[in-house]
Amino acid sequence: MKKALVSFVLVLIVSGALYSGYFFFSTVRALVASAPLPFAENVVVARSLPPGRSSEQELPDLVNAKERANILLLGIDQRGDEAGPWRTDTMILVSIDPATNSAAILSIPRDLYVTIPGYGEGRINTAHMTGDVRNYPGGGVALAKKTVAEALGVPVHYYVRINFTGFEKLVDAIGGLTINVEETIHDERYPDDNYGYMTVHIPAGLHEHMDGATALQYARSRHGTSDFDRMARQQAVMMAARDKLLSLDFSLASIPKLIKLAGDSVQTDLTLEEILALAEIGKRIDRANIRQGTIDATMTTTTVLPPNGAMVEMPQWDKIHALVADLFPSPAPEASPRPNIVGAQLANEAARIELQNGTLVGSLAQDAAAHLRGKGFNVVLYDNASRFDYDTTALVIYADKPYTVETLTAELGVAPENVRREAGSHSDIDILVILGRDYAQRAGG
């Protein structure tokens, strides 16, 4: 029975974490601390790689608790037993640092407009679907991980994915949630199970025993409010789930049912051994050492894209990368430090960079933009150059951005004689980069 109880707790860890970064850690700390893992040495871990994990991916050493681990939590818009492909309705990046017994949580808006590696620009919530449709190696979860990693400039080691049905069932299975709804939610365009719309009305006030369907509506609705308000409500749902779980006197008879409910709806590339290691790390993390952040309206600009009028959130990368660097700091180097290109100076300069492809290598500028954004550079535009016979990469400087110029020339390997300054200013960009054959060769083009 003890083994079943701990297994149940682990299921709650990976599934409940999706809607609560804090719930992930506090539940681990409270529950696993009272249910030690004496059976761990008898667990047989599968040797094959879980879906979404690459055999070439460099992973942290979770078992020996030595390195920071970043986990992408994905909520997909799967309805019923439909086969997909699915977009992600929720994306949260959780980082655990066993060296300092600390953690950080970052909520990512679904309409953030980013580069999806290899597939152009789009909303970040389409990366998962694109990966499945285009048969990306590792599927949609692998492309979602890569997209977030390159956009934010931090590695994404693992993922946990849950669907709507799984969330509803788990909330109902624990008897519902107690949530204080601060403002009435009235949404006449809430998506129903048949790809139409329904009206959702949740009055303000204290809701005791809120069922899974209502809790999901409260967490997902954004019409009449915003995606940023929605992320705040998800935090409220998480805290309510945490409080309910910690207050329950678990019945052993209900454990097999709950394990099955979660198991049918949750997918992860964490092995059992790694989940056990995370549980041990998590119980050492104090609430005061958990930092939370959101890519909010101060870091994006709402934009309507032609020709179909799609509304997206255009990122202000200087602000976003400053937040990421603050939440997920790099370890201090042991030797002489190199300039940190995602550091404060780069973020403060916020140089607007345009890339142009001066070669015949297809998607060179697009791929370079994704690479540089992942390093913290504010690439605002990429396109083809007026000609395609550039042997060497060139930089044209329109504004005084010395730190960005220094780090950019080093990153791209631009010779000093190929850097020139233009008199006057440019209304749209601060630095123009024309990529030549030398860069294409280094990039493998």
pLDDT tens sequence across 228-252: 777 778 767 866 776 676 566 554 4
Give yes or no for residue 29 having a pLDDT over 80: no
Sequence-ordered list of residues with C-beta below 8 angstroms from that of 255, at least 6 positions apart, any chain: 4, 5, 7, 8
**Does the structure show a pLDDT above 70 at 348?**
yes
**What is the model's pLDDT at position 394?**
94
* Residues 275 and 13: beta-carbon distance below 8 Å: yes
For the domain made up of 2-164+246-315, the CATH class stated in words is alpha beta
Q: What's the whole-model pTM score?
A: 0.60
Strand-pair category, 177-181 with 88-97: unpaired
Q: What is the 3-state secondary structure (H, E, C) of 7-52?
A: HHHHHHHHHHHHHCHHHHHHHHHHHHHCCCCCCHHHCCCCCCCCCC
Is the per-residue pLDDT at 188 higher than 80? yes
User: Do 351 and 378 meet the contact criterion of CB atoms below 8 Å apart?
Assistant: yes
Lowest mean pLDDT among 86-100, 339-353, 359-373: 339-353
- Gap between the Cα atoms of 47 and 271, Å rounded: 9
Least confident of 77-81, 87-91, 419-423: 77-81
Helix, strand or coil, per DSSP, at residue 396: strand
| Cβ atoms of residues 250 and 34 within 8 Å | no
Determine if the peptide bond prior to 155 is cis (ω within 30°).
Answer: no
Query: 337 pLDDT exceeds 90?
Result: no
Q: Greater confidence, 24 or 411?
A: 411
Q: Which residue has the higher pLDDT, 239 or 362?
A: 362
Average pLDDT over residues 34-55: 38
In Å, how far are 8, 10, 198, 202 from 1, measured between CA atoms?
10, 14, 43, 40
**What's the rounded Cα separation, in Å, for the pair 154 and 71?**
11
Query: Which of 166-170, 209-213, 296-300 is predicted least confidently?
Result: 166-170
Query: Whole-angstrom Cα distance, residue 45 to residue 251?
Result: 28
Distance of CA 333 to CAs 48, 152, 340, Å?
Answer: 34, 21, 11
Statement: 344-442 belongs to CATH 3.30.70: yes
The helix (run of H) or strand (run of E) holding residue 182 is none
Greatest mean pLDDT range, 132-141, 253-262, 335-344: 132-141
Average pLDDT, the chain: 76
**Beta pairing, strands 177-181 & 205-210:** antiparallel
277 or 156: whose pLDDT is higher?
A: 156
Q: What is the pLDDT of residue 237?
A: 80
| Helices (H), ranges, 300-363 | 317-327, 344-349
The predicted-structure confidence for 304-336, as pLDDT tens digits, reads as follows: 776 677 788 999 998 999 999 999 887 644 433
Phi, psi values for residue 317, rounded to 5°:
-60, -30
Asked whether the predicted pLDDT for residue 27 surpasses 50, the reply is no
Q: What is the pLDDT of residue 127?
A: 94
Q: Where are the domains of the chain?
A: 2-164+246-315, 344-442
Percent of the chain with pLDDT over 90: 23
